[in-house]
Structures are given as structure tokens and as C-alpha cells.
Amino acid sequence: MLVLGIETSCDETGVALYDTTRGLVADALYSQVELHERYGGVVPELASRDHLRKLSPLVRQLLDESGHTLQQLDGIAYTAGPGLIGALMTGACFGRSLAFALQIPALGIHHMEGHLLAPLLDQTQTPPEFPFVALLVSGGHTQLIQVDAIGEYTLLGESVDDAAGEAFDKTAKLLDLGYPGGPRLARLAEQGTRGRFRFPRPMTDRPGLDFSFSGLKTHTLTCVKQLRETDQLDQQTLADVAWAFQDAVVDTLVIKCKRALKQTGLKRLVIAGGVSANQHLREQLRSTLQGMGGEVYYPAPAYCTDNGAMIAYAGACRLLAGQQDQSPPPALRPRWPLVELQGLA
């Protein structure tokens, strides 16, 4: 089965072809970073309009470069949520209309399930076996999930306020690092001095697997204000603050992952979502899991952020199991709990 995947949940237009026998055939991605950079963040209306402009030529480019035609498609998967409603509508209308014209099935896919399954795209490494614990960590979500099979998810813990990626972006903004803030803060932290500042590890001094990063963000803001008032905020100090903030977030995530593995008795951890590309987080989790006799799995760097390949793969798994949109198709869901998904038949 050859499936076209379409991802338009936020500010990335991603398309991909996934074949259930050959694996990932091709993918293409258009980023709107330059469009939104002048505003310091994503402008939903502009994002929707840009998806509309880029989707059709991007699909044509994908098919031409891979040597395929529309008539060879067996199904279409598109992101149905969570995400920006206008952006979701663009991808969904395109995917549903194309499927209707070709008389093939279409299926709306949960954006975070795409991230969760992204490590299975890497054909150069052995994929994780079920069951495992997944840390989904992105700009909009920080969740620990027990994954028993595709569609069989148990929520173990989640952020009660800012997600980790959101905290990165907001902290980068108060440090005047520009947009996109998270990756810029991580790069600045590489120049920081270990131990000059130590920030709190929120909610690690109590039981449970929930997260909270708003207090850490406020602590960082207070620290920066004090440094500015005393004229101590030079470039090196800024890097030291960035390192302390990143280290606090990473340490918190690692502590909670370790706790989740012990609670479930599992030894396999999957980390996915945009923040999973953070090298400090990868190094700390790798070291921790080795000490526990466990294994940690990541998507390839290209598939950590939003992309069409993860939607094509998740869609292929579900379409192959016989799932598809009914008529009329279900409403798009800007908010959509992952645990509400159905398992594969």
C-alpha cells in the first residue's frame, strides 16, 4: 500500500510517500520560519495561507522526484489534530478532496501519534518492541505515555502548564534570542559554563509523573532581571543562564522518565517530538538508560520536528488495518487527547 502523508498542523508543510512493503519512499518539507520570524512567533492566519500556497506544488514535487503518479496512491493520511484549526483545515481539505477524486480512502491522523511512531521510520536501526514508555516532548506537549501497541496508550503524566518546548521558546524570547527560540537557546547553552547558575527542577521533589515548567520560566526571568539591573548580563553570562535553564529542563525530564520506567517495569524508552532533537537531553537519557540496563530510541533528526513522513507511516499502519474516514468525515480537533485513539483491529 502506497500512502501519501500530509502534515499541516502548525508552521511546517510536510508531505511524504510511505510504502508498506518498501518503507519510506520520499518526503519533502517546507518551513515557514522566515515568514513568522518578523513577528516573533507563528501567526495562524499566515500559516494557513502559506500551507494553501505550498501544498499542491510540494506534492507535485514529491511525486516527480520519486517517479510516482497520483494514480499509484492507495490512500491518503492527513493531520486531523491537535494543531491550529486553520492550518489543519488546509491539509484536511486538500487530502480529503484528492482522495475523493482518486476514489481511494483517506484518514485523519493524530499529530502526536505521528511523533510517537516516528522512531519506527529509521530503517537503519532495529525498531523498539512493544510495550515501551514514550516521552512526547514538543512545543505544545510534554507527556509520558505507556505504549502497549499502536493505539493502545495509557497516560502516565503530562505538563500541568507550559510544555517543555513552549518553556524553551518563551525563555528564549525573554533572552531576546529571536524566533524560533528553542533551537537558538540550545545553541547558546553550548557556550555556557556548567554550574555557575543552578535552577530548580520543578515537581521532582514529590511523587508522580506530571510536569510543570512555568515556575522555572519565572525563576529564569527573575534571574535575568537581577543580572540586568546590576549590569552583569554580558554574552557569557547569557550563555551561562541558557545552560542552567536547559540543564534544569533536561534533568527534570530525565528524572521523570526514570521514574516512569521504574513504575511500569519497562526497559525501553522512546523519545519523540521537536525537543527530542536536543543533544543534551539525548546524552543524559542515553547515560541514564545504560545505567538502568535499558534502551532509548529516537527518531532520525529530520523526523523530530513536524514532518509528513511520520503522518504517512501512522496513516499506513491504520489504513492497512482497514481504518478510514467515514462519510461525512469526522470534525478536525485542535485539542485531542492521545488516549482517545482506537487500537488497530
Beta-strand ranges (E) seen in the chain are: 2-7, 12-19, 23-31, 75-81, 106-110, 132-137, 142-149, 152-158, 268-272, 295-297
* 64 has binding-site annotation: no
Same domain? For 247 and 316 the reply is: no
Q: Containing domain of residue 233, as a range? A: 128-298
> Omega before 329 cis (within 30°)?
no
Amino acid at 310: M
* 181 has binding-site annotation: no
Same domain? For 60 and 23 the reply is: yes
pLDDT at 268: 97
Same domain? For 136 and 206 the reply is: yes
Residue 40 near residue 173, CB atoms below 8 Å: yes
> Omega before 127 cis (within 30°)?
no
Q: How far apart are CA 59 and CA 98, in angstroms?
A: 11
Question: What CATH number does the domain containing 329 carry?
Answer: 3.30.420.40
* 156 has binding-site annotation: no
pLDDT tens-digit map of 303-342:
999 999 999 999 999 999 999 999 999 999 999 999 999 9
Mean per-residue pLDDT of the chain = 95
Same domain? For 196 and 83 the reply is: no
160 pLDDT more than 90: yes
* 68 has binding-site annotation: no
The CA distances from residue 343 to 108, 113, 147, 283, in Å, are 15, 12, 11, 33
Mean pLDDT in residue range 294-306: 93
198 pLDDT more than 80: yes
5 pLDDT more than 90: yes
Per-residue pLDDT band at 345 (split at 50, 70, 90): confident
3-state secondary structure of 142: strand
* 169 has binding-site annotation: yes
Mean pLDDT in residue range 287-295: 94
pLDDT at 23: 95
pLDDT tens-digit map of 94-105:
999 999 999 999
* 140 has binding-site annotation: yes
pLDDT at 191: 96
* 306 has binding-site annotation: yes
Residue 209 near residue 161, CB atoms below 8 Å: no
Same domain? For 255 and 238 the reply is: yes
18 pLDDT more than 80: yes
pLDDT at 312: 98
Has residue 241 been placed in a domain?
yes
Number of structural domains in the chain:
2
Mean pLDDT in residue range 36-48: 94
* 58 has binding-site annotation: no
Mean pLDDT in residue range 61-88: 98
How many residues in the chain? 345
Residues contacting 269, CB < 8 A, separation 6+: 132, 133, 134, 135, 257, 261, 285, 289, 294, 295, 296, 297
pLDDT at 62: 98
Percent pLDDT > 90 in the chain is 94
Which phi-psi region, left, alpha or beta, contains residue 289 (left: φ > 0; alpha: ψ -120 to 50)?
A: alpha
* 50 has binding-site annotation: no
| Dihedral sign from CA coordinates of 146, 344, 299, 274 | negative
Residue with cell 524560533: 180
- The CB-based long-range contact list for 153-158 (8 Å cut-off, 24+ gap) reads 153/338, 153/339, 153/341, 154/339, 155/337, 155/338, 155/339, 156/209, 156/260, 156/263, 156/264, 157/208, 157/209, 157/210, 157/211, 157/256, 157/260, 158/210, 158/211
pLDDT at 194: 92
Has residue 123 been placed in a domain?
no
Same domain? For 278 and 328 the reply is: no
Q: How far apart are CA 314 and CA 209, in angstroms?
A: 27
Has residue 77 been placed in a domain?
yes
pLDDT at 64: 98
Per-residue pLDDT band at 153 (split at 50, 70, 90): very high
Mean pLDDT in residue range 55-59: 98
pLDDT at 246: 97
Per-residue pLDDT band at 124 (split at 50, 70, 90): confident
Has residue 326 been placed in a domain?
yes
* 182 has binding-site annotation: yes
123 pLDDT more than 80: no
Residue 298 near residue 332, CB atoms below 8 Å: no
Same domain? For 46 and 190 the reply is: no
Percent pLDDT > 70 in the chain is 100
Same domain? For 189 and 286 the reply is: yes
* 139 has binding-site annotation: yes
Same domain? For 180 and 100 the reply is: no
pLDDT at 139: 84
Mean pLDDT in residue range 159-171: 93
Q: How far apart are CA 159 and CA 243, in angstroms?
A: 22
CA angle 341, 282, 158 (to 5 degrees): 35
For 62, the grid coordinates are: 514529491
Q: How far apart are CA 192 and CA 331, in angstroms?
A: 46
Has residue 183 been placed in a domain?
yes
Q: Mean pLDDT lowest for which of 6-15, 53-62, 144-153, 163-172?
A: 163-172
pLDDT at 204: 95
